[in-house]
Amino acid sequence: VIRFIVSLIVSILQEYRKKQEPVRHITFADKIVAAMHRHGYPIFRGAEELNIVYVHDHDIDGAPNNDTPEMDTFNDACVVIRFVAGGVPLIIDAWKATVDPGVYYRDHPIVSGGTAYIKPGHYRAWQVGMHNGDHEGLLQTGGEVTVSRDKNKNLRRDASDWEQTGYFGINQHGPSVRVGNAPLAKVGPYSAGCLVRESVPAQREFMALIKTDPRYRADHEFIFSSTILEKDDI
């Protein structure tokens, strides 16, 4: 009887231990890296190297959202990913952002052919600098990007729009420091195609983080890459 009870306890303990074994769930970072891999985009896995990624229509916890462009919200996620031991990608930080221009610029396009939308893809195009003399951002001074121009003014990239590749000042910035620390509720006039975080502190955190990249520390003219993913890529 004692032997039976002992073996019962042992088997219960074994079951318990099995349940305690960690299971590695698929993370938002895993899904992003898988999408980058699928597209053949460069992925930086070196020590402390960072990957800047914008994901359309996703909250920063990785949940997709259904905000419409007319809502003019910061409904895209900006995530910074670093690989840790074992080649595991981790999101170091993430912020609400927009990769779409605001409704304001649909109605007031800078170029008569339509407001610019950055085409999803991977670009090596950005250097640290002052955005509009207002705050530090990543400026599109380092390379070309491809944009769609919203010719039919429907706030969506579609077949009737046209593409252009070049230098358009598609910067990565935040709101003007004049607005204070509160997040903006609407994109408003803050994006004419730029990649914009929703608050001044978010922009400061973003810049502080990306400047830890050893490639930037070695060369302050370093040209940062960024990837823009579609909602369906995840």
150: CB partners within 8 A, 6+ apart: 101, 106, 109, 114, 115, 116, 117, 156, 157, 161
Query: 43 or 99: whose CB is closer to Ca ion?
Result: 99
Specify whether the backbone of 62 is left (phi greater than 0), alpha (psi in -120 to 50) or beta: left
Closest to Ca ion by CB, 150 vs 233, is 150
Q: Counting contacts by CB under 5 A, is residue 233 touching Ca ion?
A: no
Instruction: Note whether 114 and 144 are within 8 A (CB).
Output: no
Each residue 103-142 as x (binds Ca ion by CB under 5 A) or -, in order, gives ----------------------------------------
Q: Give the tokens for residue 15.
A: 């079951």
- The enclosing H or E element of 214 equals helix 214-218
Q: How many beta carbons lie within 10 A of that of residue 2, not counting itself?
A: 6
Nearer CB in complex with Ca ion: 57/213: 57
49 three-state secondary structure: coil
Contacting range for Ca ion; rule: CB under 5 A; set: 83-91, 97-105, 120-128, 200-208: 97-105
For the CB of residue 65, give the shortest distance to Ca ion in the complex, in Å. Answer: 9
Smallest CA-to-CA distance from 33 within 47, 19, 21, 43 is with 43
Candidates 160-168, 170-178, 187-195, 224-232: pick the segment binding Ca ion (CB under 5 A).
Answer: 160-168
Tokens of 223: 């040209």
- Asked if 27 is part of the footprint of Ca ion (rule: CB under 5 A), the reply reads no
Least separation in angstroms between CB 13 and Ca ion: 51
Give yes or no for residue 161 binding Ca ion (CB under 5 A).
yes
Q: Which of 15, 70, 158, 163 touches Ca ion (CB under 5 A)?
A: 158
> Can you tell me which of 27, 141, 146, 154 binds Ca ion, judged by CB under 5 A?
154
Run of H or E residues at 112: none
Pattern 56-85, binding to Ca ion, x per CB under 5 A? -------------------xx---------
Give how far Cα 4 sits from Cα of 10, 17, 204, Å. 10, 20, 64
Q: Which of 100, 198, 213, 233 binds Ca ion (CB under 5 A)?
A: 100
Binding site for Ca ion (CB under 5 A): 75-76, 100, 150, 152, 154, 156, 158, 161
